[in-house]
Amino acid sequence: MELQMARIVKKPLQRRSEILEAARHLFQTRGYERTTLQDVMNRLGIAKGTIYHYFKSKEELLEVAVEEMVNRRLEKMEALIQNAKGNALKKMQVLIEMGKEATDQAALEELHRKGNEAMHTRLLAFTLIREAPLYAKLIEQGCEEGIFHTETPLECAEYILSAVQFLTDPGIYPWTKDDLIRRARALPKIIEQQLKAPLGSFQFLEDYFLAG
């Protein structure tokens, strides 16, 4: 009896996960605007009532798909920080390098395609909301270590991530290569000024962005 109950509880979770994965794939490959709930149903071979049992609309499906993508990334970031050695600045560098290694270039190209603006923007915005507190904790640690000097760690993290995620993203703004190079060279100094960090502390960011 207990085994049967376990299967009943697990099945809806599996179905919900399948719907999210199918929607995420279609949103990225076909574009959010060009994808319909019927497309998701057809891909999975499910009835209309099944998908509406879990999600009220395509927009809700997008929101949940984006949230789960970001939450999975955040779990990896938190685990990495727990095991990372060194001061706050070193841990920040480890996080940034992880982001570079974990980037799915094929998925990134799909997000930059016309028709994916909604998913791309939601993903960037939710990433900022979820990751800013994590970076704020590192900034607080840096202040305790005497590396940084600020009374607003969370706000600093939000502004820095906004600049990194939006102002350097060619999928949001039609920057030229020269525009991106100019921003990549200015960003380390801007962050150092905001956090009152030692000169050259964030120089690694220039190499990070220019290499990307």
| CA nearest to 188, candidates 168, 170, 169, 171 | 168
**Domain presence at residue 35:** no
Is residue 19 one of the residues assigned to a domain? no
* DSSP annotation of 113: S
* Domain region containing 114: 63-211
Cα–Cα dist 133/50, whole Å: 36
What is the chain's length? 212
pLDDT, residue 104, reads 44
Report yes or no: 108 and 120 within 8 Å, Cβ to Cβ: no
For residue 139, the domain's CATH number is 1.10.357.10
- 199 in a domain, yes or no? yes
Closest CA relative to residue 187, chosen from 205, 200, 174, 161: 205
Number of domains in the chain: 1
What's the pTM?
0.77
Domain membership flag for residue 206: yes
pLDDT per residue as tens, the chain (212 positions)? 444 444 433 478 889 999 999 998 888 788 788 889 999 999 999 988 999 999 999 889 988 888 888 888 899 999 999 999 899 999 998 888 876 654 444 444 555 566 567 777 788 888 899 999 999 999 999 999 999 999 999 999 999 998 887 777 777 777 888 988 888 889 899 999 999 999 999 998 887 777 65
